[in-house]
Amino acid sequence: MKIIVEHAEALIAMDAGRQVIADGAVAIDNDRIVAVGPTAEVRRACPWEFDRAIDARSKLVMPGLIDAHLHVSEQLSRGLFPDDLNTNQWVFNWAKPFYGTVDAEEEYVGALLACAEMIKSGTTTFLDVGVYNDIAGSAQAVKESGIRAVLGRHAADRVPKRLPPNWTPEIVAKHYFSSADDALAALEEAHHRWHGKADGRINVWVNIEGKTPCSPELHAGATKLAAKLGVGASYHISSSIEEARTTEQEHGVWPVTLLDKYGALGPNLLLAHVVAIKDEEVALLAQHGVKVAFCPGTSLKLAKGATKIGRYPEMLEAGITMGLGCDGVSAAGSLDLLRQVHLVAGLFKDARMDPAAVPAERALAMATIDGARCLLLDDQIGSLEPGKKADIVLMDLNRLDWVPRHNVVQTLVYCATGDSVHTVIIDGRVVLENHVLTTLKEGEIIENGMRLAARAARRSGLI
């Protein structure tokens, strides 16, 4: 299908020149962008009959947002965990019991809820760090919703020496493989089964939990297997000062330094959180081309210390590619990625008392083109350019929070939320129109989500 989105009040391309085009247009042929520019120029360049013309007057047109770190398995736990937990308490006493008992149906419905929430707030691509049942559920949700995704199977192989009191044998079995080799074999099998499915919208990576639940062999093996398969690997590391101190007690060094000793660092590796990091470790990440997924909302809720001990401005200064993640609905609360954009644009201005820290355009890049680089998909998505996939968001500007709009990038970053999203196109297909999902039945998903969330919470023993 040939579609033209035309007469946009403003079009933010996020290309190398960071163009902001008045009366902008995007021409689409099937799943690809074929022309971008002022409407009159695009019409001249594409003189054919379009199957559909979308009038974007009073709209902002921009690339779809990219969530670089998410847990769809967490979706049915929203509001279940207390908000006075540190990272270790949150993970071992609440998240793992929930993840360890969630079943395949609950993961599938949770993934549908997540996909719906993301699409309605402008996210067109996400990376899920890994499900705890068969990947089929999350893959089916991606297929049905029309979103683009990097999926994976959760993996860890080091059972704690002392189990938390509320853990059951089922929880242990869900979380841990008997060896790194068994874990990597399962991850490779998931890749071969699902990579490239949903008309190419599904990529399957080698994603593991990371941190102390994973052995050196699993950390290093994930990076090597990902290179063999031609994809990326992602996991949590240095997610809290407690983790860094535990690693130092056991190995004499902090986590990123330990990864370097394992030979695990490389340009196909995306590390999540990376809060507790030393200056010399920033240099290591830059040297090896490692990417970082920063989850500012999680740091705020779990008191990780992003602004107190984090080195995020230093990582950006060192040239490290950084994306943004919503993490999960119990970790950060919302899958509206624009909330994370707003946070990253303001946190370090305040913490460093430096108004030039993380400008609005840089914050937006983290959720678009730099997010695409984190997912190794920047040749496909992340900006509006000819030849790239047609993943496009239209924001409704006829709203009080958009008036006036002297600078549309600043207004987007500091004033707007995902509620402004009017229309979403993914892979050349309209999946949201006039705020209404076209691929999913929102009411039915909400009803099923409420029913299964209660069931999952009871089974987990957390209520």
Res. 206 pLDDT band, cuts 50 70 90: very high
Which residues does 71 contact at the CB level (< 8 Å), separation at least 6? 128, 129, 327, 328, 331
For the cut 90, the answer to whether the pLDDT of residue 99 exceeds it is yes
d(CA 177, CA 173): 7
Residues 6+ apart with CB under 8 A from 309: 241, 275, 276
What is the reported pLDDT for 337?
Answer: 98
Q: How far apart are CA 172 and CA 168, in angstroms?
A: 7
CB 453 within 8 A of CB 89: no
Long-range contacts, stretch 173-179, CB < 8 angstroms, 24+ apart: 174/99, 174/100, 174/101, 174/132, 175/96, 175/99, 175/100, 175/132, 175/209, 175/213, 176/213
Q: Which pLDDT score is estimated for 36?
A: 98
The structure tokens 């890994």 sit at 130
**What string of DSSP letters covers 156-209?**
-----SS--TT--HHHHHHH--SSHHHHHHHHHHHHHHHTTTTTTTEEE-EEEE
pLDDT tens, 44-89?
Answer: 999 999 999 999 999 999 999 999 999 999 999 999 999 999 999 9
Instruction: Give residue 166's pLDDT.
Output: 86
Report all structural domains of the chain as residue ranges with CATH numbers, in order of start: 2-63+389-437 (2.30.40.10), 65-374 (3.20.20.140)
Q: 306-362, pLDDT tens digit by residue?
A: 999 999 999 999 999 999 999 999 999 999 999 999 999 999 999 999 999 999 999
Between CA 391 and CA 371 the distance in angstroms is 14
Averaged pLDDT score across all residues of the chain:
97
- How far is it, in rounded angstroms, from Cα 273 to Cα 71? 13
Residue 165 pLDDT exceeds 90: no
Residue 361: what pLDDT? 98
Report which of 243, 332, 247, 252 is spatially closest to residue 293, judged by C-alpha positions.
Answer: 332
pLDDT tens readout for residues 369-397: 999 999 999 999 999 999 999 999 999 99
Residue 41 has pLDDT above 90, yes or no: yes
Confidence of residue 399 (pLDDT cuts 50, 70, 90): very high
Whether 208 shows a pLDDT value over 90: the answer reads yes
The one-character DSSP state at 131 is B
Residue 146: pLDDT over 90: yes
**What would the mean pLDDT of 116-130 be, rounded to a whole number?**
98
Q: What tokens does 401 get?
A: 């929070």
Percent of the chain's residues with pLDDT above 70: 100
pLDDT of residue 424: 98
> Of the candidates 163, 155, 52, 43, which has an alpha carbon nearest to the alpha carbon of residue 99?
155
Residue 463, pLDDT > 90, answer: no
pLDDT at 271: 98
According to the model, what pLDDT value does residue 76 have?
97
Q: What is the pLDDT of residues 270-303, one digit of tens each?
A: 999 999 999 999 999 999 999 999 999 999 999 9
What was the pLDDT predicted at 205?
A: 98
